[in-house]
Amino acid sequence: MALIDLANPTRFLALVARVLPWLAGATLAAFALGLGLAIAAPDDYQQGATVKIMFIHVPSAWLAMLIWAVMSIASLGTLVWRHPLADVAAKCAAPIGAAFTLLCLFAGSMWGRPMWGTYWVWDARLTSVLVMFLMYLGLIALWRTVEDPSRAGRAAAILTLVGTLNLPIIKFSVDWWNTLHQPASVFRLGGPTIHPSILAPLVVMALAFTLLFVTLHLAAMRNEILRRRVRTLRLMQAHGA
Amino acid sequence: MTALAAVLVRDARIALRVGGGALMGVLFFLAVVTMVPFALGPDLALLRRIGPAILWLGALLASLLTLDRLLAADQEDGSLDLLLLGPAPLELVVATKAAAHWLTTGLPLVVASPLFGVLLNLEPAAIGAVALTLLVGTPALTCIGLLGAALAVALRRGGLLLPILVLPLAIPVLIFGVSAANAAVVGPLPFGAPFAILCALTLASLVIGPFAAAATLRHAQE
Amino acid sequence: MKVGLGLHAGFIVAAYAAAIAVVAALIAWVVLDHRAQRRMLADLEARGITRRSAREDDS
């Protein structure tokens, strides 16, 4: 099946229907393995058992960035290649990305309290993720503000691409700002070196989360295509078809 | 070039008219600067320390809140459609509108900032640094806001959505503007480094803002 | 050598509970939305409003 077939919504729906159960199964299996490895992982020399929070925090951060990248590519698809399903992909990725960004922030906070004694620290990484969360929410607000999905899609695509430009600038700025304002303490998120017994559960959990995203994303895209069909049919009905 | 000059003059005239709102930005700036001591208390030493930050935040908010005048009014009376059909490239047209907006809204903020700096007990070096960084930074805020204004036109809805979309894009300008202003006074760091980065951000936004805004307006017409 | 989750068990549990809550919420969103769309499409079809391609091929 050629990639071009993915441009046809009906074929896409058929593909999703076939693939989704396998993806869901693979996700479950990966999570089972990952959680097993996480539970079995030894306590860290410095952090104790709280290192296990890393198995949630780091994959969430990875997903937050991956999903933003997916939205950026989808935005290019909308603006440059006029791919019919690109804006569907972008729209459905945003809430999933926002959810995992929020999870990343919360897990980071849960890790921070035992480690640094405070629930929140304006360190470079957490602050950059907070700004990314704000940008996700702005995009979702944008999608919901416009009734016509394809007009919303073009506006959101432009904003996403500008946001993508902004992210490295934000990271750089916040790094700078951080060195200005916190000269004494040096917070090392994630530790200096990663021991293999920590690495294995981390990688598996990252894989599991990624599979989860793909499953959710395809399912959400299917829902969005159906939603647009409902909308079209209702418009036809209103116009007296 | 006459077309662009005409756009510039027209926008400037409209902004300076009674209902134009050019001085509203400055008034809002004053309001914010006045609010802060009410919230923090009249401790002059504290105000002197955080003065540059307050001035920058006030200028940022004042810039944001005057943005919806930039394109929305033209869209309402139909002149935006005429501009889209006109001879000059759309990117230059919106850039010219941004220039007119900055001259009538942003520049007054810069001019007013020394006076407000006195209110916050800033020393002369700090006042000068804040004014200079605002002079360089407010065009960036206007150009970044230009994209937001174009989105507001494309979406026909405003409200708080516009500031929410624009604020994350303005964060780097804020960070480097304030740190340059502080560095001139307190600094272990030299003023030059953050100031140069601020200039770079402004130059980048002068290009990206109009291009992104023009693209948004074009796509909105389809 | 496992000694349980140690001093900071509460935080570890909270993080994992949040993860489960977020994942469950996302799955619920996707599943419930799917059912809602299917229901609306069936409803419209029952009223005889279908897409042209659906009418021309098999239904």
pLDDT digits (tens, 9 = 90+) for A77-127: 999 988 889 999 999 999 999 999 999 999 989 988 888 788 887 877 888
What average pLDDT does this structure show over C4-33?
A: 91
- pLDDT band at residue C58, thresholds of 50, 70 and 90? very low
- pLDDT band at residue B84, thresholds of 50, 70 and 90? confident
Q: How far is CA C34 from CA A88, A219, B49, C51, in A?
A: 15, 8, 56, 19
Identify all chain C residues contacting A233, using CB atoms and an 8 Å cutoff: 41, 44, 49-51
Nearest C-alpha of chain A: how many angstroms from B23? Answer: 29
For residue B142, the model assigns a pLDDT of: 93
Residues 6+ apart with CB under 8 A from A161: A72, A75, A76, A79, B212
Nearest C-alpha of chain C: how many angstroms from A180? Answer: 30
- pLDDT band at residue A51, thresholds of 50, 70 and 90? confident
- Give the range with max mean pLDDT: A87-101, B80-94, B161-175, C7-21: A87-101
Helix, coil or strand: residue A154: helix
In a domain, C59, yes or no: yes
Could you tell me which of A99, A125, A118 has the C-alpha nearest to residue C11? A118
Inspect the interface and report whether the beta carbons of A106 and C5 lie closer than 8 Å: no
For residue B23, the model assigns a pLDDT of: 79
> Is the distance from CB of B154 to CB of B217 less than 8 angstroms?
yes
Residues 6+ apart with CB under 8 A from A21: none
How far is Cα B55 from Cα A48, in angstroms, rounded to an integer? 45
Indicate the burial class of A187 (C-beta count within 10 angstroms; 0-12, 13-18, 19 or more): middle
In a domain, C16, yes or no: no
When the pLDDT of each residue in chain A is averaged and rounded to a whole number, the result is 86
How many DSSP H helices and E strands does chain C contain? 2, 0
- pLDDT band at residue B188, thresholds of 50, 70 and 90? low
Q: Where are the domains of chain A?
A: 26-39+48-182+195-238
Total count of domains within chain C: 1
How far is Cα B176 from Cα B75, in angstroms, rounded to an integer? 34
- pLDDT band at residue B130, thresholds of 50, 70 and 90? very high
Residue A163 pLDDT > 60:
yes
Question: Could you give the dihedral angle defined by the CA atoms of residues B136, B139, B141 and B142, in that order, rounded to the nearest 10 degrees?
Answer: 170
Residue B123 pLDDT > 90:
no
In a domain, C11, yes or no: no
- pLDDT band at residue A186, thresholds of 50, 70 and 90? very low
For residue A183, the model assigns a pLDDT of: 43
Comparing alpha-carbon positions, the chain C residue that sits nearest to A115 is: C8
For residue A22, the model assigns a pLDDT of: 95
Comparing alpha-carbon positions, the chain A residue that sits nearest to B215 is: A158
Residue C59 pLDDT > 50:
no
Alpha-helical regions (H) of chain A: 9-40, 54-79, 86-116, 124-145, 149-181, 196-238
For residue B19, the model assigns a pLDDT of: 60
Residue A184 pLDDT > 60:
no
Could you tell me which of A53, A72, A60, A82 has the C-alpha nearest to residue A198? A53
Identify all chain A residues contacting B217, using CB atoms and an 8 Å cutoff: none
Residue B70 pLDDT > 80:
no
Whether the CA torsion B216, A133, A100, A168 is positive or negative: it is positive
Q: How far is CA A21 from the centre of its chain?
A: 21
- pLDDT band at residue A4, thresholds of 50, 70 and 90? low
Record the tokens describing residue A28, joined without a space.
Answer: 């479950």
How far is Cα B152 from Cα B160, in angstroms, rounded to an integer? 10
What average pLDDT does this structure show over B157-175?
A: 85
For residue B203, the model assigns a pLDDT of: 95
Record the tokens describing residue A8, joined without a space.
Answer: 């046809």
Judged by average pLDDT, the poorest of A211-220, B38-47, B101-110 is: B38-47
What average pLDDT does this structure show over B50-62?
A: 92
Inspect the interface and report whether the beta carbons of A53 and C12 lie closer than 8 Å: yes
- pLDDT band at residue C54, thresholds of 50, 70 and 90? low
> Is the distance from CB of B150 to CB of B68 less than 8 angstroms?
no
- pLDDT band at residue B81, thresholds of 50, 70 and 90? confident
Record the tokens describing residue A109, joined without a space.
Answer: 């906070």
Domain that holds residue C48: 23-59
> Is the distance from CB of B161 to CB of A145 less than 8 angstroms?
yes
For residue A192, the model assigns a pLDDT of: 45
Residue A1 pLDDT > 50:
no
Q: Which of residues 158-217 of B touch A (CB under 8 A)?
A: 161, 164-165, 167-169, 171-172, 175-176, 179, 189, 194, 197, 201, 208, 212, 215-216
In a domain, C55, yes or no: yes
What average pLDDT does this structure show over A169-190?
A: 67
Chain A residues whose C-beta sits inside 8 Å of any chain C C-beta = 10, 42-43, 48-50, 52-53, 56-57, 60, 95-96, 99-100, 102-103, 106-107, 110-111, 113-114, 212, 216, 219-220, 222-223, 226-227, 229-230, 232-234, 236-237, 241
Look at A125 and C27; give whichever has higher pLDDT. C27
In tens, the pLDDT along A144-154 reads 887 788 888 99
Residue B202 pLDDT > 70:
yes
Residue A187 pLDDT > 60:
no
ipTM: 0.87
Q: How far is CA A6 from CA A154, A225, B104, C54, in A?
A: 20, 13, 51, 19
Nearest C-alpha of chain C: how many angstroms from A155? Answer: 24
In a domain, C6, yes or no: no
How far is Cα B85 from Cα B70, in angstroms, rounded to an integer? 18
Percentage of chain A beyond pLDDT 90 is 51
pTM: 0.86
Identify all chain C residues contacting A113, using CB atoms and an 8 Å cutoff: 8, 11
When the pLDDT of each residue in chain C is averaged and rounded to a whole number, the result is 83
In a domain, C12, yes or no: no
